[in-house]
Amino acid sequence: MRTIQFREAVCEAMSEEMRRDEHVYLMGEEVAEYNGAYKASKGMLDEFGSKRVIDTPIAELGFTGISVGAAMNGLRPIVEFMTFNFSMVAIDQIINNAAKMKQMSGGQFNIPIVFRGPTASAGQLAATHSQAFESWYANCPGLKVIVPSNPYDCKGLLKAAIRDNDPVIFMESEQMYGDKGEVPDGEYILPIGVADIKRAGSDVTIVTFGKIIKVAFEAAEILAKEGIEVEIIDLRTVRPIDYDAVIKSVKKTNRLVCLEEAWPLGNISTEITYMVQQHAFDYLDAPIKRICTADTPAPYSPTMLAEWMPKLEDLIAAVKATMYKN
């Protein structure tokens, strides 16, 4: 099978859907003439023209709201945020308008829109440019939230998001755009809300999503050498969450560690923990552990940043703790 970069998977998904449906357009800062801040829309201006691949001024609130309005009037916008940190100045339009329009209008207006761009940290970018808002958006009914971790999932899920009739938050990572992975030539769609077992194992379940899954893979390799087989569940979608997949795995392994690049209070790991104690309490052989970022804004310096990020050694220790091993 051919291998492509994550950014190419994004580009293919958008381009294929724009060929298929002329109501789909891409709007955002630097998406057209610059070919995307991270080159995720490379070549799209040439193919689709400036009517459908639209550069904006730096006005997230304005262009987000305009695209929600366009979705109310028959279009299917893709809005790119250069990073989801910048979605904060547009969050009124996402939470109060995109997420609620269907319900407030008594079902009259669908909002088929995708908000996409990178999330979370990407090196030493410090506090304002290193935030993961997955759990913020996942908290809001009316939205769907997808966080893929490889090019294959990215393409299939982004195509599903663009075809979906509800507003979808689609979160990528600056640190994944260059990742390569196998992606088939033909068209395929992956279902929203279905988790994927990325590594089968019998001893401990690790639930995670997004680029931080790489830390789980590393931990699994190291632990395997010590005879501990972890099962890695990639949620892929954090609203709705595929609880069944998690609970099924926990019923098999009886142990759970959540790995998430996010602040700890009220994050996705917290939610998973609640649901597992609710539905698999008697199956648990140890308290659930979670490895998240520090409960502080992200620091700049490399030493403090390393301390702030979810750490490989902490994850390994957490897995062992659920097995009562040192």
Partner 1 sequence: MAKKRITKEVYLKWYEDMLLWRKFEDMCAGLYIQQKIRGFLHLYNGQEAVLAGALLAMEKGDKMITAYRNHVQPIGLGVDPRKVMAELMGKKDGTSHGKGGSMHIFSKEHHFYGGHGIVGGQIPLGAGLAFADKYQGNKNVTLTYMGDGAIRQGAFHETANLAMLWNLPVVFIVENNGYAMGTSVERTANHTDIWKLGLGYEMPCKPVDGMTPEVVYDAMHEAMERARKGGGPTLLEIRTYRYKGHSMSDAQHYRTKDEVKEYQKKDPITHVLDVIKSKKYASEKEVKKIDDRVKALVAECVAFGEKSEFAPADWVYKGVYAQEDYPFITD
Q: Which residues contact 111 (CB under 8 A, 6 or more apart)?
A: 68, 71, 72, 97, 98, 99, 101, 102, 166, 167
Considering beta carbons, is residue 42 or 163 the nearer one to partner 1?
163
53 and 44 in contact (C-beta within 8 Å)? Answer: yes
If binding is defined by CB under 8 A, does position 93 make contact with partner 1? yes
Smallest separation (angstroms) from partner 1 to the CB of 261: 23
**Residue 276 to residue 47: CA distance in whole angstroms:** 48
If binding is defined by CB under 8 A, does position 103 make contact with partner 1? yes
Smallest separation (angstroms) from partner 1 to the CB of 65: 2
Q: Which residues contact 67 (CB under 8 A, 6 or more apart)?
A: 27, 75, 77, 79, 113
| Footprint of partner 1 on 235-254 (CB under 8 A) | 240
Gap between the terminal Cα atoms of the chain: 41
Single out the segment in contact with partner 1 by CB under 8 A; choices: 36-44, 55-63, 173-181, 246-254: 55-63
Residue 172 known to be catalytic: no
142, 148, 156, 310: which one binds partner 1 (CB under 8 A): 142
If binding is defined by CB under 8 A, does position 282 make contact with partner 1? no
If binding is defined by CB under 8 A, does position 57 make contact with partner 1? yes
**Residue 304 to residue 299: CA distance in whole angstroms:** 6
Residue 60 known to be catalytic: yes
**Residue 73 to residue 79: CA distance in whole angstroms:** 16
If binding is defined by CB under 8 A, does position 102 make contact with partner 1? yes
Q: Which residues contact 109 (CB under 8 A, 6 or more apart)?
A: 72, 101, 102
Q: Which of 8, 12, 29, 129 is catalytic?
A: 129
Q: Which of 12, 17, 60, 134 is catalytic?
A: 60
1, 2, 33, 141: which one binds partner 1 (CB under 8 A): 141
Binding residues with partner 1: total (CB under 8 A): 44
Considering beta carbons, is residue 202 or 278 the nearer one to partner 1?
278
Considering beta carbons, is residue 184 or 240 the nearer one to partner 1?
240
319 and 285 in contact (C-beta within 8 Å)? Answer: no
Listed residue (173, 123, 122, 126) closest to 150, CA to CA: 173
Smallest separation (angstroms) from partner 1 to the CB of 128: 18
Q: Which residues contact 18 (CB under 8 A, 6 or more apart)?
A: 24, 25, 26, 44, 48, 52
| Footprint of partner 1 on 183-212 (CB under 8 A) | 193
31, 44, 68, 272: which one binds partner 1 (CB under 8 A): 68
DSSP 249-301: HHHHH--EEEE-SS-STT-HHHHHHHHHHHHHGGG-SS--EEE---SSPPPSS
Phi, psi of 308 (to 5 degrees): -70, -40
Considering beta carbons, is residue 54 or 216 the nearer one to partner 1?
54
31 and 82 in contact (C-beta within 8 Å)? Answer: no
Considering beta carbons, is residue 278 or 296 the nearer one to partner 1?
278
Single out the segment in contact with partner 1 by CB under 8 A; choices: 34-42, 123-131, 160-168, 194-202: 160-168
Footprint on this chain of partner 1 (rule: CB under 8 A): 25, 51, 56-57, 59, 61-75, 92-93, 96-97, 101-110, 112, 141-142, 144, 164-166, 193, 240, 278
Catalytic residues: 60, 129
